Amino acid sequence: MANRIRALWREGQAAINGWLAIPSGFAAETMAQAGWDSLTVDLQHGVQDYLSAVACFQAIQPHPVVPLARAPWNEPGIIGKLLDAGAMGIIGPMIDSPADARAFVAACRYPPLGRRSVGPIRAGIYGEPGGYLATANEEILVIPMVETRGALEQLDAILDTPGIDAVYVGPNDLGFALGFPPRLDREEPEMLRVYERILEACGRRGVIAGLHNAEPAYARRMIAMGFRLVTLQNDSTLLLKAARAVVRATRGE
């Protein structure tokens, strides 16, 4: 169960991540054919639930795409279930402190590195018998979000938490917390300086930095800046944009 995202990062490359808000295995199957390196099932702000997440993981499975999930909260029960269902990494929202980060890592890692309970009901049926348990702690990605004032104030301590592989910047919440309107592709000098600070702190520790983006050109800029996990919008937004473009073009607008 080697995680292809880890391989990309070892080579210094960025992973291009898709985002699944639509609770549909068919939508996930369609997205999985678009060339993404990974697809994240969003249980925080999407309309996904646990069973729709399982269906999405099943749809992604035949394709060379790494299945990830954003948990609805830093709660070990749902984090463990998402990993048991086949997620190869968890993005954890609203991580405000080192204590939050430690709890998040513990929910994602088996002992002795954490407190995850053994029972990979779906994830464990692939590959060699027992292979999942032997490699899960090495391959699963633990990705807390940096999206609050508290996270920025305690950034170094959060990044020093053993077991963290990457952090994921949420521009909407982070900008909102710092007094700016929510939006994705931020251009405020203050926000860009925050990004630089996060990248510098991650670079000193060998931690990957990720970022949610709206437009491909902005995502390319962020890759050049140093981000190594870039997400583009989500499936529902992409569907709406494509549908609007087709309708407008047909009307000659």
In the residue annotation, 45 being an active-site residue is answered as: yes
Alpha helices (H) along the chain:
4-10, 25-31, 50-60, 76-85, 98-108, 131-139, 149-153, 155-159, 171-177, 189-205, 216-225, 235-250
pLDDT given at position 126: 77
Helix 189-205 / helix 216-225 crossing angle, nearest 10 deg: 50
pLDDT confidence tier of residue 120, bands split at 50, 70 and 90: very high
CA dist 93 and 168 (Å) reads: 9
pTM: 0.97
On the question of pLDDT at 125 being above 90, the answer is no
pLDDT confidence tier of residue 4, bands split at 50, 70 and 90: very high
pLDDT confidence tier of residue 2, bands split at 50, 70 and 90: confident
On the question of pLDDT at 46 being above 90, the answer is no
What is the 3-state composition of the chain as percent helix, strand, coil, each rounded to the nearest 5?
45, 15, 40
Token pair 């749902």 is at which residue?
78
Question: Tokens for 186?
Answer: 């931020």
User: Smallest Cα–Cα separation from 145: which of 163, 130, 166?
Assistant: 166
pLDDT given at position 127: 73
Cis, bond preceding 93 (omega within 30 deg of 0):
no
Which of 4, 45, 63, 122 is labelled catalytic? 45
CA dist 236 and 20 (Å) reads: 8
To the nearest whole percent, how much of the chain has pLDDT over 70? 99
User: In this predicted model, what pLDDT tens digit does every residue of 74-97 receive, in sequence order?
Assistant: 999 999 999 999 999 999 999 999
CA dist 174 and 41 (Å) reads: 21
What is the widest separation between alpha-carbon atoms in the chain? 63
On the question of pLDDT at 129 being above 80, the answer is no
Round to the nearest angstrom and report the end-to-end CA distance of the chain.
49
User: In this predicted model, what pLDDT tens digit does every residue of 53-63 receive, in sequence order?
Assistant: 999 999 999 99
User: In this predicted model, what pLDDT tens digit does every residue of 216-236 receive, in sequence order?
Assistant: 999 999 999 999 999 999 999
Token pair 């926000």 is at which residue?
191
Mean pLDDT, rounded, for 125-153: 92
Mean pLDDT, rounded, for 171-177: 97
